[in-house]
Structure 1
């Protein structure tokens, strides 16, 4: 993602900063603490097609905690993946969160701790096996990991992604209900539509076919993540940074429009900003509870201690 000007200024003023983003590794002993988050003035009854269920503010003593760019919720547990290759897994029991695991991905495109080696921006999980696919932005690559994220099982740097923007690549990654995968670039090289791909199956498998399409976000917004609804439609989270404030728009893309060579848009079903959630909404997940569709969002605080990490839950109406 593009870092806010305020964060870049702080980094430049750090004496030992060399111009390379150095990323700390998250300790396996990390414990996450959660407290209820309510925006100033309270939650509205509805935000477009969404009904707010609740939100938690997450924190941990480890300085590597935060910066979350991707989210998966499966089997009563949430997996949060940062844009530095760190992850935490939390058990969700009503309003209580318990830390199940924390750590860093064991392998990736590089071996160092610089941003170039560990720029993980997106996550897709097989709902049955738990196998995880991670999109690396600067490397323009996709890696597959075991369900516990402790073992790399395959990787690919697709030729179709080779010329994607270095700091605006695989920001969104989703596994469709039929086993296909969709990946969307954050930035556009020309115009406003983003480059995107449809994989016929596992992106890391040699027999998988790749087709190109383009995603048209709402004006002024960039896609930050995607997830699939029960009926197969694609839900795309979009964000905008303006005057040191973040805004978000959730777009529903019909499943029928996801085809080769198409330029697809969708319907904005919800939009928000300050004072509700004026943070950088980057991770998106969809679950079902007793027949209801739930939409989960996690925010990226760019590892800034003064900004919160929020996990927010909505019901889709």
Structure 2
């Protein structure tokens, strides 16, 4: 059934994106000619930064497999950006989530010609100390492909270890822990995620390295991000096929074999936090949920907070 839904999504996305791509230059010209958009303020212009870089994946076991591809991201100041991507947290919710009081920035790939694909989006949450803003916490927003699920959780950008809470690949089980690290985005941006597994060890590494693009060199954001989500999806499916060809074991989604996998992830994360060598911030908290609502972020149970929800169609 999931294969059927996936094929339907691919076919629907293909024809929708083809039609919107053909209309894109005409729509751009007509909009400029008939309805010139009002000029943006300096604050609004500076509220969106563009980045261009490379994603690199390396798997060391049970077989060696690595690849890299070019990506383009946008960093939105959620308090000031005029048009933020839909289906993401607001700045106020992110601040309540992380107990911060400064600006919040969202790093994500915007939708393009009717399609969105974001395996990972990151919220950068700052605290204000006088006239200085310091990166205090990050929120990871991870979406799996093609199951249409999403999980959000807080992590320490300096270095954190989180029990894997989502089935993101049919070639990885749920026993690993994610080691995450991210710098405060400026001219350069870096995110690293490695997987630590009780049997395979430190067997997987993913990095995002990007540089800020001069705004003068980009005349239209729709053209800058044209088909970017599609390229990401293509790389995901293509390399999944390669892993299958290399006889890497296919692992079914745990909801069919272990319906309590979310609770298991919470318990494993509690154990990580209780270990003195791995313990992080005690002020974070947890929740198991399946709705689209994130209103529970105001609750505080003294532990890390996870929110599971459905991703918006088409799967992103």
Instruction: Output the TM-score relative to the length of structure 1.
Output: 0.30
Q: Indicate the structure with greater helix content.
A: 2
Instruction: Output the TM-score relative to the length of structure 2.
Output: 0.30
Q: Indicate the structure with greater strand content.
A: 1
